[in-house]
Copies of this chain bind each other. A is one copy, B any other.
Amino acid sequence: MKNKSIKKIRRISPPGKKGMAPGTQIYTGTNIMESSIIEIITYTDESVTSIKPSLQELVDLKLTDEKMWININGISNEKYIRAICDKFGVHYLYQEDIMNVFQRPKVEDESNYIFITFKSLEWREETKCIEEEQFSFVLLENIVITFQEKEGDNFESMREKLHSKNLIIRDRSIDYIFYRLMDITVDNYFEILEKLGNYLEEIEEGIISFPSPDDLLNIQNNKKDIMQLRKNIYPLRDVLNRLINTEHHLIKEPTKKYFKDVLDHTIQVLETVETFREINVSLKDVYLNTLSHEMNRIMKVLTIISTFFIPLTFIVGVYGMNFRYMPELEWPNGYYYIWVIMILIVIFLTLWFKNKKWF
């Protein structure tokens, strides 16, 4: 059991180190990337261009009326985050939030931009664990900036659609892109839940057929995973509610209907998480019950064997005594009589146990 790893809770750490000025940008995660990968997709109704500029090129970029999606992969190098945010006027307190992987999901609306941060989730099949990735969005007039902690994302289909002449997307205001990116991330939660659900059922079947102490460890690890999930998704509900009810000029009225849809999905996700939480708890009950059933079975075997042989052993002990005068010993068929008696005892006990439903 010792070689079984305990899942560590991703712990919350001080966003700013003790005594440092608040808003100090420090990456608090473990996914160190030397430099961030920048990707800019600029599009109008007619054309789309996609470039991967260096940090300097981004900083020198001239902003036009074209709609633009700027995607940053890698948030560990503060130089990048600071330069990019400063260019677009993002407050340094939010720069800190972008780099702090322990930040709870939240939305902040400033006069000329909206800042949102939440988590993207991924299922690690090897460790049967959920991994988080810190996501931040900045929505400006005509521009949406996304900050991702790691490389690789679920937005490939978005890129394709922007490049294909999908006018539905290109036509709409920039907050629609913003919505679609959130939508994809939340829809991805369903897949995580699907896999977590499968895993829970796998454990359940394992417990019923052959319970092992590892099962309880797995249940314990699942519990931590589910707690982490809840902590990450509950605040998202509030974020979406605020987006739906905001009067901010960057969120257009028609887009709110779509955020409502995302909220609907988020609530479905939360309900499923609650369901999984309860199932996980009852898995423990099933496990402990199976265990105590096995215990009972073992006790029965011991009791039955003892009950059969203890009286018989006593009888043979009696006729192993060395008294000079023991009449039975002299009987010619004494030995056979004793076997008959013992067989009768066995038959009687068998019937008695049958009656007690121990067989």
Contact = CB atoms under 8 A, between A and B. Distances in A.
A14 to B, nearest CB: 4
Interface in A264-287: 264-265, 267-269, 271-272, 275, 278-279, 282, 284-287
A89 interface: no
A63 interface: no
Contacts of A354: none
A324 interface: yes
A56 interface: no
A257 B91 CA distance: 11
A167 interface: no
A291 B298 contact: no
A188 B19 CA distance: 10
A13 interface: yes
A201 interface: yes
A22 B168 contact: no
Interface in A309-330: 309-314, 316-330
Contact of A305 (B216, B288, B306): B306
Main secondary structure of the interface of A (DSSP, over half): helix
A333 interface: yes
A90 interface: no
Contacts of A298: 296, 299-300, 303, 358
Nearest to A290: B213
B296 A293 contact: no
A307 B301 CA distance: 8
Nearest to A100: B268
A34 to B, nearest CB: 27
A18 B213 contact: no
Size category, A interface: 35 or more
Given A1-B209, A314-B316, A8 B201 contact: yes
B326 A322 contact: yes
Contacts of A332: 324-325
Q: Which of A14, A210, A275, A319 has the most CB of B within 10 A?
A: A14
A158 interface: yes
B330 A335 contact: no
Given A208-B6, A311-B309, A322 B319 contact: yes
A2 interface: yes
A289 B288 contact: yes
A273 to B, nearest CB: 10
Interface string A125-162: 00000000000000000000000000000101110010
A79 interface: no
A190 interface: yes
A11 interface: yes
B22 A258 contact: yes
B197 A9 contact: yes
A341 to B, nearest CB: 12
27 contacts: A1-B209, A4-B208, A6-B201, A6-B208, A12-B272, A13-B194, A14-B191, A15-B187, A21-B168, A22-B180, A216-B289, A231-B271, A231-B275, A288-B292, A298-B299, A301-B303, A302-B302, A302-B307, A305-B310, A306-B306, A309-B314, A316-B317, A316-B320, A319-B323, A322-B326, A323-B329, A325-B332
Q: 3 closest A-B pairs (Cβ-Cβ)?
A: A19-B157, A316-B317, A319-B321
Given A288-B289, A295-B295, A314-B316, 4 more contacts: A12-B193, A306-B306, A319-B322, A327-B335
